[in-house]
Amino acid sequence: MNSITYDSVRKLFLLQTARMSYAFTISSNGKLVHVYWGAKVPDSGCFDGMLAGLQADTAVGGVNAGSRPYEYRTQDPFVYGDIALLPIFADGVRNARLVYDHHDISEHALVVSLRDEHYALAVDLHYDLFGDLDLISRHAVIRNNGDTAVTLDVIRSATVNLPPRQDYRITHFAGNWGAELGRNQCMLTQAQFLLENHRGTCAAHQQQPFIALDPRGESTQNCGEVFFAALCWSGNFKLCVEKSYYGDVSISAGVNDFDCQVDLPAAGTFTTPALAIGFSDTGFDRISEILYDWQFDWISPRPKAHDVRPIIYNSWYPYEFDVREDNILGLIDKAAHIGAELFVIDDGWMPKRVNEKAGLGDWVVDPQRFPRGFTPITEACHQRGLLFGLWVEPEMVNPDSDLYRAHPDWVIADPTRPRSEQRRQLVLDLSRDDIRDWAIDWLDKLIDDYQLDYLKWDMNRYLSENGPKRDLSIRFIQNLYAIWAHLNERHPKVLFENCASGGGRADFGMVPYADRINRSDNARPSDVMILHEGFTTLFVPKTAGGAGNISSDASTPLPFRIHLGMTGSMSVGINLLKATDETIEQLRQATAAFKLVRADLQNAYVYHLASATEKPYAVWQYLRRDRKTFGLFAFAHGMRHWDRNLPRFRMRGLIADAIYCAPDGSRHSGAELMNVGIAITLKGDYDSSFTFYKEG
């Protein structure tokens, strides 16, 4: 059971989860000082040998005074590490001196309130627990209790301290458009290791706002200690890991202070994004389990978090922009025949939207191509048992659009410079509340008028101008979240897809709002294996969308593409107008077979038994969370010899004394499967297999 306690004698806060403890104390001069983060300990008495030094007056100088592990680091005397808060007061003073004021403890939450020693500025540090999960969500609320405005120049969500005087290996995920979530590792030296983004509209293409550290770089997928932190933010962010000369290691993370300030008026408040921190004592696989449980049971959109995701067919693959009532009605029957469950009209349904040069921003149905609106499309889909969805890109506008001609002042631009275009589009200033409200109004109307079951929200360019407002990048993302929160509340049965030029917003800031997360625009099967390994390290597999994951890449065998499609939220990206009868029949059989095991695969943990980044093959185990069934995928890529050098693959996470039945009727104990393992045969390049085991 989790617990939060305060030991008034020791002045010690202790947060306990199933297998993790987190502790900090109040120093003799009122500063919050970190004590411990790691494997679970019995009680606060375990720290008695540490408290005297940590609770000593932090105002006392010395060459290493700044190395003290503050719980929320500010620019106190002799503190030179990355700070969490830098206010600028009306008299020009540019630092905070925060001391303990009071605290509140509830069943699953702790709030510790700090106050500045001189100014009417307060900071509430929030710590939230989630059942027995080995995870704590931290955020800060900065309150201006004075009569004059305060400018916030640096605003981090948290400072997190790790056990000191150890060598740590960093694991993070980086990439680019079409190459998202590549795993990178390096040892941390005496330095600041910085992950950051200042592209404005999204966070995750180049650097995922996530980091993991394991002592000495010795942890494996299923062995060793790993600490991790994930920032729940989809815009400009900064995540800094720092190792000092004295061996102190800390993480600070939050919104990026690049070209950014927040003016806090009298009685104003600012709430930072959350930083989720967690701990595994059994390697990197356990991190994935913790993050999956957090998504399934706590933060993914309710009540759809445990539902299966429908098989999607999208109009883009046969028609691109050339969508019309007649050709769409003809395509619906073909999609239903192969077993698709959701039909989506992608880009191209608005007036003048025959390419990417015009029409973006005019969110009405083109009366020439759809003279009866979408009503016949909706009816045809529902009559065939299909859900119906649309593509939108609410944050963007073409200069050649009625919206831009009516509101040229709505775009983000510098008044004396040419407006930069990318994909012939400009970015609407979503930091403005009137533009937020405009988007909510037309989105509500679109969903209601055409009985939409699904909405694919896309975003296809970064910011290149920041406009005159120094808080624009923050307000932009806050209003983005406000729109998504409204849509989920107003339309609880509608499925929402988060797409941002592929995986630009595959981050934990968007998880609470999106039922499907675009993994990447890249559908090349050999790349998808690597993309999916990165994605499923952090995010539950059924949210994995993207370019048709049963792709149109005819150079790769169709069974290989089908098996890859089964590993995420399946969508069919094959042009059904040109597909052979044999291909159509293979797709029909594949979707029928997938539906039999979909609930097991989409509510599962994923273990990468062999990685496509390390071997000429990939082997992934999908273990249902109750551990009663599992699916085993194998993919060959770059194999030059049939079945050469493939070991037996030992399963993970099974119930040792349970019996699991294989498709051939053979029965195996969990202990056998986890220790003796399973033999897999791959007959050369682009061979693949899927085997399903169930308890019984």
Cα 299 to Cα 232, 456, 511, 532: the distances in Å are 11, 20, 7, 21
Rounded CA gap, 259 and 57, in Å?
36
Rounded CA gap, 448 and 427, in Å?
26
CB under 8 Å to 157, separation ≥6 — which residues?
84, 138, 139, 140, 231, 253, 254, 255, 272, 273, 274, 275
Rounded CA gap, 340 and 208, in Å?
32
484 a known binding residue? no
Cα 319 to Cα 174, 331, 523, 637: the distances in Å are 33, 10, 18, 31
**What's the angle, vertex CA 405, arms to CA 400 and CA 408, rounded to 5?**
105
Rounded CA gap, 502 and 518, in Å?
5
Check 257, 293, 429, 458 and give the catalytic one.
458
The three-state secondary structure class of 563 is helix
Residue 322 a catalytic site member: no
CB 556 within 8 A of CB 686: yes
- CA 664, 667, 669, 672 dihedral sign is negative
Residue 521 a catalytic site member: yes
The closest of 204, 207, 141 to 174, measured between CA atoms, is 207
Q: Which helix (H) or strand (E) holds 609?
A: strand 604-610
Check 101, 307, 444, 521 and give the catalytic one.
521
202 a known binding residue? no
177 a known binding residue? yes
457 a known binding residue? yes
Rounded CA gap, 419 and 423, in Å?
13
Residue given tokens 């920032």 in the structure block: 231
CB 274 within 8 A of CB 232: yes
CB 123 within 8 A of CB 247: no
521 a known binding residue? yes
In this structure, how many other beta carbons lie within 10 angstroms of the beta carbon of residue 177? 16
DSSP string, 60-113: S--TTGGGS-BSS-B--TT--S--SEEEE-TTS-----EEEEEEEE-SSEEEEE
324 a known binding residue? no
Rounded CA gap, 618 and 530, in Å?
9
The closest of 83, 105, 107 to 95, measured between CA atoms, is 83
Residue given tokens 């009540």 in the structure block: 303
Cα 583 to Cα 327, 340, 561: the distances in Å are 21, 14, 12
The three-state secondary structure class of 136 is strand
Backbone angles phi, psi at 129, to 5 degrees: -105, 160
The three-state secondary structure class of 673 is helix
Rounded CA gap, 475 and 469, in Å?
10
37 a known binding residue? no
Rounded CA gap, 157 and 164, in Å?
21
- CA 533, 534, 537, 539 dihedral sign is negative
DSSP string, 147-198: SS-EEEEEEEEEEEEEPSS--EEEEEEE--TTS--EEEEEE--SSEEEEEE-
CA distance between the termini of the chain? 31
Q: Which residues are annotated as a binding site?
A: 177, 346-347, 423, 456-460, 499, 521
Q: Which residues are annotated as a binding site for substrate?
A: 177, 346-347, 423, 456-460, 499, 521
Catalytic residues, by residue number, are 458, 521
